Copies of this chain bind each other. A is one copy, B any other.
Amino acid sequence: MMKSNIRFTEDMQFIGVADSGHDVVMDAPLSVGGKNTGSRPSELLLMAFGGCTGMDVISILRKKKQDVTGFEMNVRGETPENYPKSFTDIHIEYVVKGKNISEEAVERAVELSLEKYCLVGATIGKAAKITHSYKVIQES
């Protein structure tokens, strides 16, 4: 079981903490009474997805002896106009940079993460259609 505490401070600011002990500040924009001192909760959801699948992918690429020198993901989420809103479509682009990177290894690592290992992806994938793409940048 995973536990988290989220405490209200002032205005629209909340501070989350969980078992690992790191504070995460969340806040709303000025337009709705916040002070933009931290991320929006919905942004955290997209980041959590990237971090989750990113950890899987970097681990698998290391096991496959890939010489990764840079790695990032771009995650985009779409929501409907009307309430209740949930993410309906999420696209993730994986950008892997390195020397002699095998595209097949990247593709397989992404598949393993999205189809099997990534807890956040498996959770939000029940609500949203998750699509992915990847770009490999070969360094000379």
Specify the chain B residue showing the minimal Cβ separation from A2.
Answer: B77
A83 to B107, CA, bound (A): 19
Interface of chain A, main secondary structure: mixed
Stoichiometry (number of copies): 2
A103 to B61, CA, bound (A): 52
Specify the chain B residue showing the minimal Cβ separation from A18.
Answer: B43
A94 to B116, CA, bound (A): 33
> Given A18-B47, A26-B48, A87-B119, is A5 in contact with B39 using a C-beta cutoff of 8 Å?
no
A84's partner among B54, B78, B115 (CB-CB below 8 A) is B115
Q: Closest CB of chain B to A84's CB: distance in Å? A: 5
A44 to B58, CA, bound (A): 19
> Given A3-B76, A75-B4, is A41 in contact with B46 using a C-beta cutoff of 8 Å?
no
B47 touching A52, Cβ below 8 Å: no
Q: Closest CB of chain B to A25's CB: distance in Å? A: 7
A71 touching B8, Cβ below 8 Å: yes
Residues of B near A7 (CB, < 8 A) are 71-73
A-B contact pairs, 9 of them (CB 8 A): A3-B75, A4-B76, A6-B51, A16-B50, A16-B51, A44-B47, A44-B48, A85-B122, A86-B123
